[in-house]
Amino acid sequence: MKVLKFGGSSVANPENIIKIKNIISTYEDHIILVVSALGGVTDLLLKAGALASSQDQSYKEVLISLEERHLTTIKELLPVTAQSRVLSKVKSEFNILETLLEGAYFIGEITPKLSDKIVSYGELLSSYIISEYLITEHLDAEFKDSRDIIVTHKLNGKNMVNFTSTNANCVDYFKSSNKKITVCPGFIATSEEGVTTTLGRGGSDYTAAIYAAAINADILEIWTDVSGMYTANPKMVKQAKAMPHISYEEAMELSHFGAKVLYPPTIQPVLSKGISIVIKNTFSPNEEGTLITKSKNEKGKTVRGISHIGHIALLSLEGPGMVGIPGISKRFFEVLSLADISVVLITQASSEHSICVGISADDVEHAVHIVNDAFEIEIERGRIKQVIPEKDLAIVALVGDNMKSHQGLSGKMFSTLGKNNVNIRVIAQGASERNISCIIDEKDVKKALNALHEEFFEENIKQLNLFVMGVGNVGAKFLEQIRSQRKFLKENLKLNIRVIGISNSRTMYFDEKGINLNDWQEKLAQGQKADKEKFLELVNTVNLRNSIFVDNTASEDVSTSYSEYLGNSISVVTCNKIACSSSYENYSHLKSLARTYNAPFLFETNVGAGLPIIDTLKHLIASGDKIIRIKAVLSGSLNFVFNNFNEETTFHDVVKQAQEEGYTEPNPKIDLSGVDVMRKILILARESGNILDISDIENKSFLPEVSLNTNNNDDFFASLIQHEPHFQSLFSSAKNANSRLKYVAQFDEGKASVGLQEIPKGHDFYTLEGSDNIVLFYTERYPNQPLIIKGAGAGADVTASGIFADIIRIGNF
Ligand code: ADP
Ligand code: ASP
Ligand code: MG
């Protein structure tokens, strides 16, 4: 014999019930078919009860819609000729239900007994309707009320199954029944006094397990809406996978810690008989599902699954009076237990100064009250503090049989959570060492589950979530590069890059599931009004793991928000030089935030666009080298200008062209005055370990005073025309000396300077083409022949690819 249980969503509507018929039609064996109430009905019955007992007439509307739903199900499933008898039976059951609810309404109260009676109609009706449907489909089926079989008795105030009489009833009934299929309601039972009782929310799984154990079934099949027990709740973690096989203990641990797919008590009865459980998907019956047996997964993975329980509150009993006094914890737990408050997690510090328990948030007010009452005398004497509850918490647990023999799992768990700024309130490790659990803020649950899943299950596929501010020249190219490289990165570097938020100066747009990069322009245009503060707030609200803020603007205002991102463990990647060339104090504060919060702060494109200059510098220093001197041509824009400027052109026209081709900052004076190069050499000097400010850099500007003092682009360009002879004389002087003009930045013995120089033939800088940059690092290891980095140092494309490279560095971090 086999026992099959179909849950609420599997019986939610006629279409699904037909699926069940198709599944069971293929079975040769005798079947006990346990069914739940039609999906959502239990909740609605409880709601009707609550409304009625608070004397709210709207319980009637709930009742009417429930009746409608059941009658429609009958009409859609049964042939017309078979309908009337079943319809009238169901209608008469609804009349009784109405009377029960009226009772609650008039008394203004609902007792546990009455509540059980009311909710029992969910399973009673569904099983009756399904049995009638199977009969009309010519299956050899019958209906049997579980209340005739499963008997409960009270133990410490709780309804527990009386297995002696229940098992005897099972054997009596099922062994003598000659029907192939017996349809039974799940969830409901009878007390020894003959009153309807229930087995707890999710209890239909338990009903099926009780039957399976009593009749020694070949297998217990739990049919639900997912394809087995997953590595994490598939509704929270998209990447979760069904596990083909797990042990009873692992299943129990996972379900105890919130994997709702199996009601925790279900395993006990079948475990003692060694009956296997299989979890299958009604909507995808060909999938393998999960097999649960007694064999341990000896060679299996250490961590098998991650689960969570939401809606948790923490209760801490603390005080000097607790140390060394026996019996305090006993009293604490006794008080909770007598009030029927179940304790999900316990920790006690070894100092014995405090005991901390996790309980359902629903119980917290009551718990605080009774615990404070119980310890009234100690509290009055100041030996114990009043218990203070903390709410809005959740438990997250890693589960696996083999975890006990492995070190480092908890370290990995907590560092993963830490990196993602998930604050851990309490840590507990089960004595079985089959789980490590911790309590975190409820708002962080989704991020925590996904980050842990990525760490323990996803073969190193790492998801990076980007928030991109600035989608002009560089930003647009950057998004395009991500769009075309995404697939490659996923397959080859195991990085899954998603853009979650974008903003320009006018609008911003967020999509938590990842913005489609084929039409981001339209989405952004229709987005909400841009707002730097709101952007940050949204990044924190979506609260995703591995979050990176990307600044593609040149805005000082945007650069002031880095500290807030880093302080929330959100990495920052920027091509905006303002922050790193601001005061040394601000620069070092940002670097230290990045270290403290484990959030990389990368700005490779601040110097030489996509060229790996800062990265090389970092590697030199990390490996013990020392920078002695830096000589560099660092302005792609100035290079472009001086490479194209000669006696046949005008300085003004060349600068204009450089601006139009995107080689200069929006304001070209920043490049031509040397400010941009000053910022770059400052950053290199700082990254080499020197404390320096922009005012320490010598700038011998080649621009006439008038040009330097202009306040807008038009005046600036006009001044260039006016001083053309000055520029021509710079050119001819260099030409006469058989040299070329290059704008050079230097750092030597702690001093930095920038300025125009005549570079003679044969020098490394002489042949520098187009917008190329070059850096010579003279170090202890490269004292005479410098380490040279050379290549295109300006342009939207190479800058975008430099930002991209920083993102990948973070991915590999
Ligand atoms: P039924 O109504 O069939 O009894 P439940 O809603 O009680 O179904 O249980 C199935 C649900 O359990 C799934 O839809 C899923 O959201 C949830 N769940 C939580 N954790 C897990 C997990 N680790 N594996 C599979 N499902 C899980
Ligand atoms: N219908 C009950 C509930 O929703 C029992 C079950 O479905 O297992 O809790
Ligand atoms: Mg269930």
Q: What is the pLDDT of residue 126?
A: 98
Residue 112 maps to a domain: no
Same domain, 511 and 564: yes
To test ligand 1's pocket by mutation, which of 206, 229, 260 has the most ligand atoms within 8 angstroms of CB? 260
CATH number (domain holding residue 362) = 3.30.2130.10
Residue 297 maps to a domain: no
Same domain, 509 and 631: no
Distances (CA, A) of 483 to 88, 238, 487, 509, 804: 61, 21, 8, 17, 11
Residue where a domain terminates, one of 422, 457, 492: 457
Same domain, 151 and 166: yes
- What is the C-alpha separation between 204 and 146, in angstroms, rounded? 11
Residue 626, burial from CB neighbour count under 10 angstroms (0-12, 13-18, 19+) = exposed
| CB of 606 shorter than 6 A to ligand 1 | no
| CB of 581 shorter than 6 A to ligand 2 | no
| CB of 206 shorter than 6 A to ligand 2 | no
**Closest C-alpha among 253, 297, 292 to residue 275:** 292
Residue 130 maps to a domain: yes
Residue where a domain terminates, one of 199, 225, 251: 225
Ligand 2 atom index nearest CA of 203:
8
> Do 399 and 392 meet the contact criterion of CB atoms below 8 Å apart?
no
| CB of 185 shorter than 6 A to ligand 2 | no
Q: What is the pLDDT of residue 349?
A: 64
Alpha carbon of 35 to ligand 2 centroid (Å): 9
Distances (CA, A) of 406 to 97, 124, 403, 428: 55, 48, 5, 17
Ligand sitting nearest the alpha carbon of 256: 1
CATH number (domain holding residue 624) = 3.30.360.10
Ligand 2 atom index nearest CA of 7:
7
Same domain, 563 and 637: no
Residue type, 55: Q
| CB of 122 shorter than 6 A to ligand 1 | no
Ligand 1 atom index nearest CA of 8:
2
- What is the C-alpha separation between 119 and 125, in angstroms, rounded? 11
* DSSP character string of 276-312: EEEEEETTSTTS--EEEESS--TTS-S--EEEEEEEE
Q: What is the pLDDT of residue 632?
A: 96
Same domain, 361 and 445: yes
Residue 561, classed as helix, strand or coil, is: coil
| CB of 406 shorter than 6 A to ligand 1 | no
Residue 216 maps to a domain: yes
| CB of 260 shorter than 6 A to ligand 1 | yes
> Do 577 and 603 meet the contact criterion of CB atoms below 8 Å apart?
yes
Q: Whose CA is nearest to atom 21 of ligand 1?
A: 233
- What is the C-alpha separation between 556 and 541, in angstroms, rounded? 24
Distances (CA, A) of 500 to 426, 452, 463, 531: 31, 20, 12, 16
Ligand 2 atom index nearest CA of 122:
1
- Going by DSSP bridges, is the β-strand pair 290-293/245-247 parallel, antiparallel, or unpaired? parallel
**Closest C-alpha among 505, 494, 6 to residue 221:** 6
Ligand 1 atom index nearest CA of 229:
24
In sequence order, what are the beta bridge partners of 469?
503, 551
Same domain, 672 and 784: yes
Alpha carbon of 201 to ligand 2 centroid (Å): 5
User: What one-character DSSP code corresponds to residue 387?
Assistant: P
| CB of 207 shorter than 6 A to ligand 2 | no
**Closest C-alpha among 253, 174, 157, 160 to residue 213:** 174
> Do 734 and 741 meet the contact criterion of CB atoms below 8 Å apart?
yes
Could you give the residue numbers annotated as active site? 680
**Closest C-alpha among 444, 603, 466, 485 to residue 546:** 466
- What is the C-alpha separation between 781 and 625, in angstroms, rounded? 6
Beta-strand runs (E) in 401-485: 424-429, 435-441, 462-469
Q: In which element (H, E) is residue 188 found?
A: strand 188-191
Q: Whose CA is nearest to atom 5 of ligand 2?
A: 202
**Closest C-alpha among 7, 5, 17, 64 to residue 40:** 7
Ligand 2 atom index nearest CA of 206:
8
Same domain, 475 and 436: no
- What is the C-alpha separation between 251 and 296, in angstroms, rounded? 11
Q: What is the pLDDT of residue 299?
A: 63
- What is the C-alpha separation between 126 and 16, in angstroms, rounded? 12
In the chain, which residues have pLDDT < 50? none
Ligand sitting nearest the alpha carbon of 40: 2
Alpha carbon of 648 to ligand 3 centroid (Å): 83
Residue type, 517: L
> Do 398 and 413 meet the contact criterion of CB atoms below 8 Å apart?
yes
Same domain, 571 and 643: no
To test ligand 2's pocket by mutation, which of 9, 10, 201, 282 has the most ligand atoms within 8 angstroms of CB? 201
Same domain, 468 and 444: no
Residue 66 maps to a domain: no
Q: In which element (H, E) is residue 400 found?
A: none
| CB of 12 shorter than 6 A to ligand 1 | no
Ligand sitting nearest the alpha carbon of 203: 2
What's the chain's Rg over C-alpha atoms?
36
Ligand 1 atom index nearest CA of 7:
3
Ligand 1 atom index nearest CA of 236:
16
Alpha carbon of 199 to ligand 2 centroid (Å): 9
> Do 778 and 755 meet the contact criterion of CB atoms below 8 Å apart?
no
Instruction: Please give the residue range of the domain that contains residue 215.
Output: 2-37+124-225
Residue 88: count of CB within 10 angstroms of its CB: 10
Same domain, 413 and 552: no
Ligand sitting nearest the alpha carbon of 10: 1
> Which ranges in 631-766 belong to alpha helices (H)?
636-644, 651-660, 669-672, 675-687, 705-708, 713-722, 724-736
Q: Whose CA is nearest to atom 8 of ligand 2?
A: 202
Q: Whose CA is nearest to atom 27 of ligand 1?
A: 233
| CB of 281 shorter than 6 A to ligand 1 | no
To test ligand 2's pocket by mutation, which of 38, 42, 46 has the most ligand atoms within 8 angstroms of CB? 42
Angle at 144 between CA 141 and CA 150, to 5 degrees: 140
Residue 45 maps to a domain: no
Residue 265 maps to a domain: no
Looking up tokens 């031509």 gives: 672
| CB of 230 shorter than 6 A to ligand 1 | yes
Residue 533: count of CB within 10 angstroms of its CB: 9
What is the value of pTM for the model shown? 0.77
The torsion of the CA quartet 680, 684, 690, 692, rounded to 10 degrees, works out to 0
Report the sign of the C-alpha dihedral through residues 235, 238, 243, 249, in that order. negative
**Tokens linked to 746:** 């230097």
In sequence order, what are the beta bridge partners of 773?
791
**Number of structural domains found in the chain:** 4
Ligand 1 atom index nearest CA of 222:
3
Same domain, 654 and 778: yes
Residue 3, classed as helix, strand or coil, is: strand
**Closest C-alpha among 600, 245, 574, 545 to residue 418:** 545
Q: What is the pLDDT of residue 666?
A: 79
Q: What is the pLDDT of residue 806?
A: 96
CATH number (domain holding residue 473) = 3.40.50.720
In sequence order, what are the beta bridge partners of 341?
none
| CB of 203 shorter than 6 A to ligand 2 | yes
Q: In which element (H, E) is residue 171 found?
A: helix 163-176
Q: What is the pLDDT of residue 324?
A: 66
| CB of 10 shorter than 6 A to ligand 2 | no
Looking up tokens 């199954």 gives: 161
Q: What is the pLDDT of residue 295?
A: 82
**Tokens linked to 153:** 């008795």
Q: What is the pLDDT of residue 230?
A: 97
Alpha carbon of 723 to ligand 1 centroid (Å): 77
CATH number (domain holding residue 9) = 3.40.1160.10
**Tokens linked to 619:** 């590697």
Report the sign of the C-alpha dihedral through residues 385, 389, 393, 395, in that order. positive
Residue 809 maps to a domain: no
CA atoms within 13 A on the CB side of 46: 9
Same domain, 333 and 190: no
| CB of 229 shorter than 6 A to ligand 1 | yes
- Span 151-199, pLDDT tens digits: 999 987 788 999 999 999 999 999 999 999 999 999 999 999 999 999 9
Residue 812, classed as helix, strand or coil, is: coil
To test ligand 2's pocket by mutation, which of 36, 38, 210, 255 has the most ligand atoms within 8 angstroms of CB? 36
For the chain, how far is it from start to end, CA to CA, in angstroms?
55
- What is the C-alpha separation between 731 and 158, in angstroms, rounded? 96
**Tokens linked to 589:** 């504060």
Alpha carbon of 37 to ligand 3 centroid (Å): 11
CA atoms within 13 A on the CB side of 551: 30
Q: What is the pLDDT of residue 662?
A: 78
- What is the C-alpha separation between 528 and 631, in angstroms, rounded? 46
| CB of 203 shorter than 6 A to ligand 1 | no
Alpha carbon of 259 to ligand 1 centroid (Å): 6
Ligand sitting nearest the alpha carbon of 6: 1
- Going by DSSP bridges, is the β-strand pair 276-281/219-224 parallel, antiparallel, or unpaired? parallel
Residue 448, burial from CB neighbour count under 10 angstroms (0-12, 13-18, 19+) = buried
Ligand sitting nearest the alpha carbon of 204: 2
Residue where a domain terminates, one of 457, 476, 504: 457
Q: In which element (H, E) is residue 248 found?
A: helix 248-256
| CB of 202 shorter than 6 A to ligand 1 | yes
Residue 352, classed as helix, strand or coil, is: coil
